Amino acid sequence: MKWILLAITILGFPVPVHADTVFSATGSGTSGTTLTGTVDIDAVNGTMDYAQFYLSNGTSLYGTGGGMDGTEYTVPLTGSDGNPWLFNINAISSSGLIGYDGGSFTVSYPFGDSYFEIIGTLTPESSVSTAQTPEPSSLALMATGTLLAASALKRRSETSHFRKS
């Protein structure tokens, strides 16, 4: 019976499973080009939801996903100019984006004969945590199962009590 009560206690409380932090991005690069934008990172799960940048030359860049590459988190970007770009969050720990709270980055166009790079900083703007909340039908199913288990245990203990007499 103790274990059932413990399970109800643990399952009854919402558990944080997702914490988004939105970072503002600013940077400057070769030939005076500047960059502004936002990056949304889930620092609990260590994933990037999206990166959106705007260059002063009118090009916009967008990317999602990505992964660790040594000490950098690399995300392929698609440019409104039709060219592929790369977004790298620099010098992060081996745990990737888990616990990430801002730092330096580069956005580059390292393809073909030309190389273009912007160096910038990610600064936290806001952080939102969401909790996993069970839906009502899941709670009803859990309650029904708990009642049935308690009833079976009670019946079993009563039966074993009569056998001893």
Residue 132: pLDDT above 90?
A: no
Confidence (pLDDT) at 82: 86
Residue 79: pLDDT above 80?
A: yes
Residue 152: pLDDT above 60?
A: yes
Domain ranges of the chain: 16-132, 134-164
Confidence (pLDDT) at 37: 93
User: Cα-atom radius of gyration of the chain, to the nearest Å?
Assistant: 26
Q: Residue 107: which of 35, 47, 163 has the closest Cα?
A: 35
Confidence (pLDDT) at 127: 60
Question: Are the CB atoms for 80 and 60 separated by under 8 Å?
Answer: yes
- Binning pLDDT at 50, 70 and 90, where does residue 16 land? very low
- Residue given tokens 């620092």 in the structure block: 43
- Residue given tokens 């990505």 in the structure block: 66
3-state secondary structure 90-130: CCCCCCCCCCCCCEEEEEEECCCCCCEEEEEEEEEEEEEEE
Convert the pLDDT of each residue in 83-115 to its tens digit.
888 888 886 776 778 878 888 888 888 766 667
pTM exceeds 0.75, yes or no = no
CATH class of 16-132: mainly beta
* Residues 4-16, mean pLDDT to the nearest whole number: 52
Convert the pLDDT of each residue in 55-72 to its tens digit.
998 989 999 888 887 778
